[in-house]
Chains A and B, each alone.
Chain A
Amino acid sequence: MTALDEVKIGGLGASRLRVEDQRFVRGRGTYLDDIKLPGMLYMEIVRSPLAHARITRIDTSKAWQIPGVRLVLTGEMMAQRNLAWMPTLSYDTQAVLATDKVRFQGQEVVVVVADDPYIAKDGCDAVEIDYEPLPAIVNPEQSAAPGAPIIRDDKPGQTDNTCYRWEVGDREATERAFAEADVVSSLKLHYPRSHPSPIECCGAVADFDAGTGKLTVYMTTQAPHIVRAAVALIAELPEHQIRIVSPDIGGGFGNKVPVYPGYVHAILASILTGRPVKWIEDKTGNLISTGFGRDMYLDAQMALRRDGKILAVRMHADTDQGAFFADAQPSKFKVGLLHSAFACYDIGIGYITAQGHYTNKAPGGVAYRCSFRVTEAMFFQERMMQAAATDLGMDQAEFRRINLRRDVAFPARTPFGFLVDSGQYHKCLQVGLDAIGYDEFRREQAAAREKGRLLGIGISTMTEPLGAGNSREYDILGIKMFDSAELRVHLTGKAILRTGARTQGQGHETTWAQIVAHELGIPADDVVVEEGDTDTAPYGMGTYASRSTPVAGAAVSMAARKVRAKARKIAAHLLEVSEEDVEWELGRFYVRGAPERGASIQECAMAAYSNMPDGMEPGLEATAYYDPPNLTWPFACYIVTVEVDPETGVWDVLRVVAVDDCGVRINPMIVEGQIMGGLTEAYAMASMQFQTYDADGNMIGANYMDYLLPTAWETPGFELHEVVTPCPHHPIGAKGVGECAAVGGPAAFVNAVIDAIGDAGVRNIDMPLLPDRVWTALQTRQSVSGAPPVGRS
């Protein structure tokens, strides 16, 4: 008997076609809006049209008179139940329904529940609300200005609009390094507010059964167990009587991590009406009220030696938090993992300060396709790298070579305390440069410039921390950031696997089975994967921050290994030898020295229920909770070439080369799909996708007419390459990949356009690089800020 071919059974490295596709291509997925319960009512929300205003009157009497309207909820009614405010995941409070004043455009003010959504919308139209407008604050500068109106006057002791202050690093050492520098390079940037905007909006179907006391909530959530904990704490319902079900999710990207007011409304409405209540957000509601990403201003300097060595970095970040500090992030650091910046470079010294500002804008933010604030960190890092190389008169690739960590330098501590543990940074960079033909492109660029054509090349190299977390530094509401898996092998050798993560398109139903196949030799097709139901799934912290594979995926391995350990005892019993004489090869135990005498994992499973050794507990199943010893550190090199039209400022992408080292790849097809999706979001942010506000706090970008997302027509093609450096602490050496390209990609596009312009005066154009901004830079030969205008209309 020969060992199984791992790829043939769908194990590690197999580009196994996805099992979830079979229902999705038939239109048979079950998304939230597909859930329809008997007697279900429908909920709609009346939102504030103003950014900052005192509420002087709410009259709901006309809404109550509409036939089919069953319930109209106001902030006052919430307050009577102590539910007008709720805690956020960042230890602030957020209004569930406004009572005193509205603090951002789109804030929830009244809720109408009716027999169907058309009637509920009629009810919303019949609600009368009078507002007394207050000045709107739409950026950190206004927020911090002396005499600015205090947005959070609901908070005792809040005397200004400061949300938080934070610092990390060694200030004095940094100052000394700057004093000794040959060259100091500096850059100011704005990473604009961007919305993750999954095509499916948020929603919930709340179903409180007064007969059993059980609350079931179907909900678009990336983290069902966190929601269960939050509902237990906010609504003071017993946790065992709460069931959160996350059905098929139409994209998340961080948007579906927080607990939103709409969920609370739907739950209360179901309790009050005694009927199931469905809330489906419309696109505008999603874009103007739910978790955005970014909106950070950066002022950064780099201390340099003439030969290209970076001595130290110094950064100050101002974050625009909106009206409530509702960051959905699990770290103890107020500004997330911003201090992961420069982790791939051999820099010993640095200092970062940050200040959060309340504004009259939607509350947030969320980790939009990244670990929290890592996208900003890597964007600032790689834009700084370009500016510094330019200031030194040094080639972009050479400057990175001088400063990237060497392979032998692991593990290494960054100046801000992270431990980077593995990678082949120089090899990745070289693979990328060879793929794009760097030297040849530089010659082509020079020749084109003589003819008046503007070609440019942009490089972005970065390692990012994934997989929150470890329990020392990462938790949500005090719950540590572990994850879990439960594997049950049935009598016939088929199995069911459940984890505490929640797939939203990443393909867990396919890839988790591959890990089981790798560990046990059970064909992946024989393993069904279930997630998302808190009544059945083991306790887990959900899917975001690329943490599924680093944490839940590790738990799958560990659960399977526990099963294998028990199966080994059963095999020894079946083979009538001692356990020490049993060897394992994929799918089979055999007697040492007599490989023809063996017992397959399936035979062991059968015996676990029908012929177990005396005294052994029957069954073959295991649960594993996994607390990762460190974050994982994938590395990537993205290189983009562009051509800028000097007449119009329009730029076209010529080529995109991506070199990703995400450790061992479970399913290469799915990994590549994740990278291409991330590159598209990188291109989106660089080229068109942003949300801004006018001086009155009206959001520009409140629907898909104004909030531009790239289509198949604009999106460039991608050329993917791989380098594999296994993660030293993950059971199968994987590092996670879902977010790398969205994190590291934007700087490559921007660097390419700046390089194409090739004018020392144009150090920066803030994203998105809209043609008018590029055109302005070409005309004025100066940087172009994208910071929102200050002043009032």
Chain B
Amino acid sequence: MSFSKTVEITETSADTRRITVTVNGTPRVVEVEPRLLLVHLLREGLALRGTHIGCDTTNCGACTVLHDGNPIKSCTMLAVQADGHEITTVEGLGTPSELDPVQEGFHREHGLQCGFCTPGMMMAARALLDREPDPSEEDVRWALSGNLCRCTGYQNIVKAVLWAADKQRGAQPAEEDAR
């Protein structure tokens, strides 16, 4: 019994645990093997494929999600540890018709290239803006220092987060000059 068999069910068997995790606002009751990683519950059990797996060792941050509002690396948390907690993934950002300011900022400031680190980056940025609506460049760089990007060189990512902060505060984000 492992993640491919992780489904929402009502019976409890001997080698699994029933847990309740609120994912993007919806309580999900699932039966999981104790060794199942949270990232596998999200990706495979709940089909939320926006959270990516990069390094397996908590370094790259591609799997960053919010756990009760705090950014965590979901490759290094067991699903059972999330029992009773709230998880927010990239699918919980924005609405189908309207992007979250962080998503819009990444698009407008060219804060992504291959896009693989982007969901984790955006979740770390979301957590920063939730606790600090007017961050400095240094604040942004520090908040993102647990997330690796190999494409962009970070400069545009930092600009993207500052753009999102401006937008969120109602300040007029700088319109891109030549674009």
Residue ranges of A at the interface with B (Cβ–Cβ < 8 Å): 14-18, 20-29, 31, 33-34, 36, 115-119, 197-201, 248-253, 280, 282-284, 504-507, 668-670, 672-673, 676-681, 703-705, 709, 711-713, 715, 717-718
Contact = CB atoms under 8 A, between A and B. Distances in A.
Nearest to A20: B115
Nearest to A285: B56
B136 interface: no
Contact of B50 (A28, A280, A505, A679): A28
B55 interface: yes
A673 B54 contact: no
Contacts of A252: 114
B145 A718 contact: no
Interface in B75-106: 89-91, 93-94, 99, 103-104, 106
A559 B158 CA distance: 39
B176 A677 contact: no
A199 B179 contact: no
Interface residues of B, number: 64
A278 B177 CA distance: 46
B157 A712 contact: yes
B56 A282 contact: yes
Contacts of A284: 56
A677 B153 contact: yes
A24 B54 contact: no
A26 B142 CA distance: 24
B105 to A, nearest CB: 9
Given A21-B106, A118-B33, A711 B144 contact: yes
A22 B98 CA distance: 11
A118 B52 CA distance: 18
A25 B118 contact: yes
A201 B52 CA distance: 11
B113 A506 contact: yes
Interface in B46-73: 48-57, 59-60, 62
Contact of A116 (B3, B152, B154): B3
A645 B176 CA distance: 38
A504 B141 contact: no
A28 B119 CA distance: 10
B123 to A, nearest CB: 10
A49 to B, nearest CB: 18
Nearest to B146: A711
B152 A705 contact: no
Nearest to B156: A673
B149 interface: yes
21 contacts: A14-B179, A23-B115, A25-B107, A33-B53, A36-B44, A197-B150, A199-B117, A199-B149, A199-B150, A250-B114, A505-B113, A505-B114, A677-B113, A677-B153, A703-B55, A711-B146, A711-B154, A712-B145, A713-B142, A715-B154, A715-B155
A689 to B, nearest CB: 10
B151 A251 contact: yes
Contact of B49 (A27, A200, A680, A711): A27
A331 to B, nearest CB: 26
Nearest to A23: B115
Contacts of A251: 113-114, 116, 150-151
B148 A15 contact: no
Top 6 closest pairs, chain A to chain B, by CB:
A27-B50, A250-B116, A24-B115, A505-B114, A505-B113, A704-B59
B107 A21 contact: yes
A249 B116 CA distance: 8
Interface in B14-53: 33, 35-36, 43-44, 48-53
B169 interface: no
A681 B49 CA distance: 28
Contacts of A506: 113
B108 interface: yes
A87 to B, nearest CB: 29
A672 B176 CA distance: 14
A321 B3 CA distance: 40
B55 to A, nearest CB: 4
Contacts of B162: none
Given A17-B108, A676-B153, A704-B60, A507 B113 contact: yes
B12 interface: no
Given A282-B56, A712-B157, A677 B116 contact: no
Nearest to A681: B150
A431 B97 CA distance: 45
A301 B145 CA distance: 42
A712 B113 contact: no
B2 A116 contact: yes
B112 to A, nearest CB: 6
B140 interface: yes
Nearest to B106: A25
Contact of B145 (A681, A711, A717): A711
A17 B59 contact: no
B52 A200 contact: yes
B113 A29 contact: no
A199 B55 contact: yes
B107 A22 contact: yes
A16 B107 CA distance: 11
B144 A712 contact: yes
Contacts of A253: 150
A752 B52 CA distance: 38
Contact of A703 (B51, B57, B62): B57
Given A21-B107, A199-B62, A283-B56, A250 B153 contact: no
B138 to A, nearest CB: 9
Max chain A C-beta neighbours (<10 A), residue from B44, B144, B179: B179
A504 B148 contact: no
Given A14-B179, A198-B150, 8 more contacts: A21-B107, A34-B49, A119-B2, A198-B116, A251-B114, A668-B178, A713-B144, A715-B153
Nearest to B50: A27
B99 A25 contact: yes
Given A21-B107, A669-B179, A718-B155, A27 B90 contact: yes
A711 B178 contact: no
Given A17-B108, A116-B4, A704-B59, A673 B114 contact: no
A713 B145 contact: yes
Contacts of B155: 676, 715, 717-718
B118 A24 contact: yes
B176 A200 contact: no
Contacts of B4: 115-116
Given A282-B56, A705-B57, A705-B59, A200 B153 contact: no
B80 to A, nearest CB: 14
A712 B158 contact: yes
A778 B57 CA distance: 35
B154 A249 contact: no
B55 A704 contact: yes
A242 B148 CA distance: 35
A31 B156 CA distance: 23
B122 interface: yes
Contacts of A282: 56
A12 B176 CA distance: 18
A248 B57 contact: no
Contacts of A16: 179
Contacts of A718: 153, 155
A704 B52 contact: no
